[in-house]
Amino acid sequence: MKPHVRFLLLIPLLAAACSRNAAPGSPEHLQAVAQTVLDKQQYTAWFDSKENHQRREETFGDKTYRVMHLPAALLALREVGAAAPDTARKAAEEHYSDLEYFRLEISGTANGSELLKSGAVDASEYNRRLTYSSFGMQKDLSIVTSSGASIPCAIFQFERSFDVAPVARFLIAFDKAQLATAEKFSFVLDDRLFGNGLIKFPYTKEELQSTPQLH
């Protein structure tokens, strides 16, 4: 067989090999993810890995905004721990089932300093940021569906990191029933904390539902 004919025969094989490593978020990838069964440790690790298609990231200046969807199963597993029996985990999962949870993480580059202090000219600006992060930010977070409907934030919690790392984390939840009707939507933050304005993180219903199965 001539060499170029042999090379031509290799093309379908290469294409098949490539399709196994489908791009994150593609229908093939989502299908593969949904069929994956992981043990408790692998399941938790998957959400922090680059394989997780439910992570979104945007950088503006020296601030990076990361959004991650947190399914009820993950929250329940983290709450009861890997050693807990499945019945306890299932009960905890039920507790989280009415809402759709997300984690928003804002990080900066100021090493060893609290994020809210970065660029703050005085103590009053720091205090204003702190109050806003604890109470005011909730109204600046929403989900906007492709039909233009806006779903307000139902639960909001600011996790302060003090001087451990220049990171601020927020746990946010939206009504699952309202979200269930939207095929496409965006997690929207109107950033008044660092003045970066409207920031959008798009999701599809399929992306949100495609998570690995817990063994």
Say whether residue 200 binds another protein (CB under 8 A).
yes
Give percent helix, percent strand, percent coil of the chain, each to the nearest 5: 40, 30, 30
For another protein, which is the closer residue by CB, 79 or 190? 190
Angle at 188 (CA atoms; ends 187, 189), nearest 5 degrees: 130
Beta carbons of 103 and 70 less than 8 angstroms apart: yes
Say whether residue 206 binds another protein (CB under 8 A).
no
Q: Least CB distance from residue 188 to another protein, whole Å? A: 9
Identify which of 203, 154, 206, 156 has the alpha carbon closest to the alpha carbon of residue 177.
154
For another protein, which is the closer residue by CB, 70 or 144? 144
Q: Least CB distance from residue 142 to another protein, whole Å? A: 12
The stretch near another protein (CB under 8 A) out of 57-65, 81-89, 101-109, 175-183 is 57-65
Separation of alpha carbons 5 and 7, rounded Å? 5
For another protein, which is the closer residue by CB, 67 or 73? 67
Separation of alpha carbons 58 and 5, rounded Å? 46
Say whether residue 202 binds another protein (CB under 8 A).
yes
Say whether residue 185 binds another protein (CB under 8 A).
no
Separation of alpha carbons 198 and 137, rounded Å? 13
Point out which residues bind another protein (CB under 8 A).
56, 58, 60-61, 186, 190, 195-198, 200-202
